[in-house]
Structures are given as C-alpha cells and as structure tokens.
Structure 1
Amino acid sequence: MTPASQTAAAADSWPPRRYAWFVVACLTLAYALAILDRVSIGLLITPLQAALKINDTQFGLLQGMAFSICYSVLGLPLGMFCDRSHRVSVLVGGLVLWSLATIGCSFATTFGGLFVARMLVGVGEAALVPVAVSLIADYFTPLVRPKAYGVFVTGSSLGTAVAFALSGLFLSWADRLIAVLPVFHGMAPWQVVFVLCGAPGLILALIVVLTVREPRRHGVVSVAQGFSLRPIIALFRARPLAFASLMVGTVLNLVCVYAILGWFPALFIRAHGWTPAETGYALGAVGLPISIFAAVNSGWVIAWLTRRGHRDAPLITAAACGISMAVFGTLGCIAPSGWLALACYGINALFVNWNISSVYSGLSLITPNALRGQVMALHTICSGLIALTAGNFIVGFLSDTVFRTPGGISYALGVVFLTFGLGATIVLLSGRRAFREAVQAHGERNVR
C-alpha cells in the first residue's frame, strides 16, 4: 500500500465529520442539561431555606456533598465500564436517571429527602463526562479533537446560563402554571422549577437512543480485560508530575467554579438586594454569550498554541483561568455594586471554561485510549470530592461562622477565589516541563 493510500485509509476509518459534530451537539446538550439540573438549586436558596428550614452550611452540603458523594465514588467504576462496554447505552442510562432524580427533588419535604434526591442526580451524571470524553476521542482525529472538546464544554456554559435564566423565568411563571396546569396543582413554585428542569433530559435520552451510534475504538487491540487499577497506577508512576500538575491544578480551579455555580446568586440577592428573578436574568444574559464564546474559543486557543510548538498548551490555558479567578473572581465578590460585580463576573467568564477544556485536551495527550475513561473518571472523583464539596461547603461554613452578616457572603466567596485561584496557577505552571516530556513520550509510543 502506498503512503497516499495509507493516509486515505486512515482518514476513512474515522466517522464522517458532519455526523461526528452532530454527536458532539447531542453530548453538549446533555452536558447543558446536567449543569442545569445540578445548579438550578442555587437560585432557589431563599424558598428552599424557608420551606425546609436549612442554614447556609446545610445548603452548601446539598449543592456539594449530596451530589458529589455518588458522582465521585461511581466515577471510576463507570470510567472502567465505558472503556469496556457500549458507551452510548451508559450515556442514555445516566441521562434518564439524573433527569428523573431532578424531578424527584420537587417531592422532598425535608433536608434528608432532598439530600437523597441530589445523591441520585450525582449517580446519573457520573456517567456523562467519562463517556463523552471517550466518544469524542474516537469520533475525531487528534488535531481536531481539542476543538470538539471546546464545543462540548459549551454545554457547561449553556447549562449554567440557562439554569440561572430559566430558574428565574420559571419562578416568575410558577404561580401561573400552578393555576393553569392541573399537574402542578398543590405544588410550590420551587417544586415547579425542579420538574421543568428535569423533563428535557428524558426527551434528549430518546433522541440519543434513535440517532447516536457507537464508534470504533481507535488504538485499542482489545477491551475485553478484567477490572484492575494496575495500568492506571503504572501510568501515574511513569509521569507523576505531569498528571499531578494537570489534575490538581484544574481541580483547584474547579473549587472556584463550583463556588460560582452555588453561591453567586446568593451574592446578588443578599449583598446587592436583587430579586431571584432579576439575578437569574442578569447572570444568564451576561454569562451565556460570553461563556459559550470562551468555551468554543478555548479549544481553538489550545490548538493554536499547540501548532506554535507549545506542547504544554493545556497547562497554559488552565493557568490563565487560575489567574482570572484570583483577580476578576475576587473583585467580583467584593465589588461595591451589583452592576460592577456583574461586569467582573462577565470578564471572569471569558476564562472559566478554559479550565475544563484543558483537562479534556491535556489528558487525551498523555493517556492511552484504553485508559482515558478511567483517568477522566479519577479526575471526576477529585473534582467531586474536593472541588464540588469544598467550593460549596467552605463558602457556606464561612458565611455561618465567620462572615455572619447578609453581606458577609461577599467575603466568604472572595477568600475562596483568591486562595484557590492563586494555588491553581502555581501548581499548573510548576508542571509545564514534565507535561511537555509526557506528551513527547506518549507521541513516540504511538509512532512505535
């Protein structure tokens, strides 16, 4: 076979580009719905605290630990499972479960009941990222892959902005819907919001079943292996600093991200006197266009830096996110007016999604195909047990115990942004050389 024919055969082995982008669109929408179901609770803080008699620390646990326990613990088994099974089926199962669990939140009457419902949301969503990262790696060539990951990350931006905007919209519509639709009779407005947030996921699950095909795995001889942590341990031992800097640094950034998702609505409601509906509309209107642009742009930036010879491009973009968190994130928390805080929120949104694009692109550069789902699952475990739990709990705890005035939420958030943003930047920049060496070694193994 001639070199030209070999190149053509390699190109033909990948799924059609147009269909691959359709699959990315489905995965992106699934990510958006996952974020919507995860963070819509943030705008419901006032009615939930009144209905269930919970304090800030408990609310932080509902947003963090309740979700992260199952989301984190199940991440690795699901990552292993998706490396060896039909990934589309795993995606559909998770999508149905977390959507039903979100609807189930509306029936909670106690803190414990809502805690269990949030745990079930975490069970379903634990499947999404490992499956999506693995599918995208087999739908796109390595050169195009960062762009696909960048588009996928827009799901986070879309879900966050839509969660804020729609939650505010649903709250303003709730009384009318309760009066008009029999299915909502006897429900409180916050309950209606949970139902409306969970329902679209069931529709998307049906679309995925009917349209998304399982791709051929590239670079894998066989996936019929027993479950073992030895390959992961050997991989990390070979390049400890490369994996540690990427994973630890991006997790520290995620502490700030989850603090935004969980507590920024409370910042505007308490410190600046905005209503929940006003807060939702404002955060959604500002965050949606900026964050989507940043999420798509992040993949292109990583690809551009890579073409210019920066093998450590994912660490550079993640470090830029850390700097933004420490500067604009902190300024947004302590700003004297709501509009100035909103402006800082918008500037910070330009960099927030660079972090997760860096995770996906970076891990795909230094991880063999057969282990990608598992390594991504380990990152999910760390982001859940550390970032999601800490980002919500620390703010709530500081608000209850240190900064106890209504406006104290500003300082509680500011402490988190400054501390973890600076920490992320230092860790990421310290691992650049090791990451470059790991990328080179991984590329040489693929050539051989």
Structure 2
Amino acid sequence: MSQSDNPVSGDLKPPESPNSTPGIVWPHRGYAWYVVALLTLAYALAILDRVSIALLIEPLEASLHITDTQFGLLQGMAFSLFYSVLGLPIGLLCDRKKRTPILIAGLALWSLATMGCSLASTFEELFMARILVGVGEAALVPAAASIIADLFPPTNRPKAYGVFVSGSTLGTAAAFLFSGFFLHLSHDLIENVPHLVGGFQSWQLVFIMCGLPGLVLALLMLVSMREPKRQGVDSPVTAFSLKPILKIFSQQPVAFGTLIGGTVLNLVCVYAIIGWFPAMFIRTHGWQAADAGQMLGLVGMPVSLFAAANSGWVISWLTKRGHLDAPMLAAAACGVSMVVFGTATSLAPTGALALVAYALNALFLNWNISAVYSGVAQISPNQLRGQVMAIHTIASSLIAMTAGNFFVGFLTDTFFTSPQGISYALAIVFLTCGTGSTITLMLGRRAFAKAAMANEERLLPNA
C-alpha cells in the first residue's frame, strides 16, 4: 500500500478545510467560547456535586445511622445506574430537540437534588435524592457535546472540548479542596449565627453550598445562551428509533468499538485514582487524610487543567498535520501514561516520589476524555452525536465507575490484605487496563481514520 493510501499517514489531509466549507456559517468565536465557559463551569459543578459526598462519610453515617455498604450504594448505584441508563434517551432528545432547554433543566434538577440531600433523614431519602442528582447530570454530556460540535469547525473543535473537560478536573479538585472548607464554614455558621441556619447540621449545609451555585448558573444560561444551528445535518429526524445508531455502528464497528473500549479502559484507571489514591497515601505513606486530600488537589488541579486544555490543542495540531486518527493517538498516550506513571505512583517508595509520579500522570489524564469528545464528533453524523456520547456514558458509568472502585477493593480484601497492599492492587489495575487501552486504541487507528474521512465527506457539497 502506498503512503497516499494509508488513512493514518501524516501526509493525508482531510477532504477540505471545514473552515471554508460553502454553506456553513459558524457562530461568532467570542460567543462560542463564552458558551464553552458556561458549559465548563457546569461540568465543574456536576463533578463537585457528584464527588463531595465522599468527604462526608463520617457525619452522614453518624447522623443517618447508615453502614459502609449503604454509603457505597449512595456513591455508586444510586448515581451511576440512573445516570448511565438515562443517558441514551436524553441523547435521543438532544439529537432531535433543542439542546439548551434540556441542559438547563438538567442543571437545575441536579442542583436542587444536591440541596435536597440536606433534607434527608433516612438512608432511603438520601438514596432517592442521589438518584435525582444522577438523572439531572445525565443531560450534561450529550447536550454539551452536541452543542459544542455546532459552535466550532472540526479543526478547532478539539480545543473547545479540551477546555470543556477541564471542568471535570476543576470539579474533582474542588471537591477535595472546598468540601473541607465548606465543612469549616458550616461549623462557624452553626456556632456563630445559629439563628440563620435553622438547626441544620454541618453536612447539610455542605450539600446546600454545593448545590446553590448550579441554580445561579442555570439562570445565567437561561438568559444568555441561544440554541445553535445544527451543522452538516443530512436530513431532519423526527421519529424516535435506535435503528440509525445501530446502522452507523454496524457500518464502522471497529472504529466505534475501539474508541469506546479503549477510552473506557483508561477511565477504569481514572476512577481508581479518584476512589483510592487518598487511601493509598494514608495507608502506605502514613499521611493524614486532610493532608492527602489537600496535596492531591493542590498538585492535581493546575497540572490537570493544563493537560485538559493542552490536549485539545495537541489533537488539533495532529489533525492539521493530516492525522485523522488524532483522538486515538491522544487516548493511547493516556494509556501509556497509566502504565508508566500510574504504576510508578502506586509503587513509589516515598510519598514525595509518589506525588511527583502522580503529577506526571496528571499531565495526560484528561487527554482521554478530550479524545472521546473529539473522536465522537469526528466519526458520528451530527444527528447521532448525542446518542453516541450517551452510549459512551453508559459504558463508562456501568463499567469504569464500578470496576475502578471494585477491583482495587476486591484485590485488597482477597490477595493484598496488608495496609500497604493497596499499592500492589492499584499497580495491577494500571498495568492491565493501561496496556489493554493502548493496544485497543492503536489497533483501531486505521478504522477510525476511515470513519472520520467518510463523515467529513458528508459535510461537503455534492459528496
């Protein structure tokens, strides 16, 4: 095969520059980036509302008399099951209806539900509130991914997705950094102005503080965001049916299968980091819980924010050089980082060295999710992007969120039972999942590039 026939060759150029495609008028750049800023903040608040409960385990168990098992259900099943299952029908709505109202409604719902957690007096009531948090957040990714795709031409789109996914990093770091601050603030309010807090306990005030900013943001979106025009839509779709998405998957099974499979394997490692790295620093290196959370947040936030934004620019740079498989390369780089730096973090002999390796891994951590958004937009028809993102959300929630937390705990309970055993359990997860991700993504490069080329041709006149 000649180099010109190789769809992953650096010499191959996209059919035509999307910036100059006749008949497509993109929104004003300043407004487009304003919308991305709002979506990024929404993502940060979603992660904050989702993760902050992990730091409230002791007061919640004491107040509601719940067990560790029940608390695990609150963090996992109550959120992930409904969050993932509802992603597909919401994705269908996003592909057929106006996305901005769906996004705003979801934001308002998960913010109110987070505040509603403060009213729970039993495990069952808190479980229902967490379900509603997951229902509301299920609207974010399908709607945001579809909206961003219609704000930017394909060559600039990865940059916007890179900025958007920085909201995930910001929210995760904020959950560790600010939940402790909210607890301190709630104690001060209860002690100094008890007449203002109405007899609430500290954990209840934390839920209120976490949910309130989302309502403010929903109002701002309502008055300042416009529904973007759909770009490159072949024909309007009015009937609700899974046939179109099953058809596109059957036409490009390797492209979609390797993109989804490889990035989900990376996310298993990501959820292992979120769920178990604080415990590793506490058990293996003897750090205090507050110090572990603070150091992980302080180190991870600036590095991961840089990586989240930088990843979009890297994907754009690779795409402009003719690499139609740029998202696959970026996600594979994340897999390699998990193998090298994730394993090094787990097995480092000192906490300081582990923190350095953690920072190096964080440089590539968000490349994976940037690759997901860019890759889905690159190989999916406009009217199916919300559904494809919803399917990826289902896979990442039901598989990665569950496995990333379960496997480490299973290994420490079964094989590595000493306090330091968590390091070996984490190392195994990083080695196996990181290696599997890298191999899967590299094997799918050619199929992905062909699917990307076919999808780009749909945007061209008379294609």
Please give the TM-score of this superposition, normalised by the length of structure 1. Answer: 0.92
1:25 equivalent in structure 2: 37
**Structure 2 alignment gaps of length 5 or more:** 1-17
> How many residues of Structure 1 are paired with residues of Structure 2 in the alignment?
443
In structure 1, distance between residues paired with 2:374 and 2:310: 13
Q: Cα gap change, 1:376/1:30 in structure 2, threshold over 3 Å: closer, same or farther?
A: same
* 1:91 and 2:103 correspond: yes
SS of 1:177 mapped into structure 2: helix
Structure 1 residue 86: Cα displacement: 1.6
1:263 equivalent in structure 2: 276
In structure 1, distance between residues paired with 2:414 and 2:347: 19
In structure 2, distance between residues paired with 1:251 and 1:63: 19
Q: Cα gap change, 1:167/1:7 in structure 2, threshold over 3 Å: closer, same or farther?
A: closer
Q: Which amino acid aligns with 1:238?
A: Q
The correspondence of residues 26-425 of structure 1 with structure 2, limited to 5 A, is 26-48=38-60, 58-182=70-194, 183-184=196-197, 186-220=199-233, 222-425=235-438
Q: Cα gap change, 1:226/1:181 in structure 2, threshold over 3 Å: closer, same or farther?
A: farther
Q: Percentage identity across aligned positions? A: 64
RMSD between aligned alpha carbons?
2.3
Please give the per-residue CA displacement for 1:346-402, whole angstroms capped at 9, x wherever unaligned: 111111100001001111111110111111111111111111122123333444444
Please give the per-residue CA displacement for 1:79-138, whole angstroms capped at 9, x wherever unaligned: 010111121111111111111222233344554443332222111110001000110111
Q: Which amino acid aligns with 1:69?
A: L
Structure 1 residue 270: Cα displacement: 3.8
| Farther off after superposition, 388-397 or 17-26 | 388-397
Structure 1 residue 416: Cα displacement: 2.2
SS of 1:106 mapped into structure 2: helix
Q: Cα gap change, 1:176/1:269 in structure 2, threshold over 3 Å: closer, same or farther?
A: farther
Please give the per-residue CA displacement for 1:13-66, whole angstroms capped at 9, x wherever unaligned: 221110110000000000010111111223334444555566665544433322
Please give the per-residue CA displacement for 1:119-167, whole angstroms capped at 9, x wherever unaligned: 2211111000100011011111111111111111111111111111112
Asked whether the equivalents of residues 162 and 312 of structure 2 are also in contact (C-alpha less than 8 Å), the reply is: yes
Q: Which amino acid aligns with 2:97?
A: S
Please give the per-residue CA displacement for 1:298-345, whole angstroms capped at 9, x wherever unaligned: 000001111222111101110111111122112222333333222222
In structure 2, distance between residues paired with 1:402 and 1:117: 36
Q: Cα gap change, 1:222/1:441 in structure 2, threshold over 3 Å: closer, same or farther?
A: closer
Q: Which amino acid aligns with 2:154?
A: P
Please give the TM-score of this superposition, normalised by the length of structure 2. Answer: 0.89
Asked whether the equivalents of residues 61 and 389 of structure 1 are also in contact (C-alpha less than 8 Å), the reply is: no
1:3 equivalent in structure 2: none
In structure 2, distance between residues paired with 1:68 and 1:397: 19
In structure 1, distance between residues paired with 2:192 and 2:53: 24
Q: Which amino acid aligns with 2:185?
A: W
Q: Cα gap change, 1:429/1:56 in structure 2, threshold over 3 Å: closer, same or farther?
A: farther
Asked whether the equivalents of residues 168 and 280 of structure 1 are also in contact (C-alpha less than 8 Å), the reply is: no
Q: Cα gap change, 1:167/1:42 in structure 2, threshold over 3 Å: closer, same or farther?
A: same
| Farther off after superposition, 238-247 or 178-187 | 178-187
Q: Which amino acid aligns with 1:132?
A: A
In structure 2, distance between residues paired with 1:302 and 1:394: 32
Asked whether the equivalents of residues 64 and 391 of structure 1 are also in contact (C-alpha less than 8 Å), the reply is: no
In structure 2, distance between residues paired with 1:344 and 1:7: 40
Please give the per-residue CA displacement for 1:378-433, whole angstroms capped at 9, x wherever unaligned: 11111111111221233334444444444443333333222211111111111111
In structure 2, distance between residues paired with 1:129 and 1:254: 15
Q: Which amino acid aligns with 1:87?
A: R
**Structure 1 alignment gaps of length 5 or more:** 1-5
| Farther off after superposition, 381-390 or 170-179 | 170-179
SS of 1:429 mapped into structure 2: helix
In structure 2, distance between residues paired with 1:143 and 1:97: 34
Asked whether the equivalents of residues 380 and 455 of structure 2 are also in contact (C-alpha less than 8 Å), the reply is: yes
2:456 equivalent in structure 1: 443
| Farther off after superposition, 34-43 or 68-77 | 34-43
| Farther off after superposition, 53-62 or 326-335 | 53-62
SS of 2:150 mapped into structure 1: helix
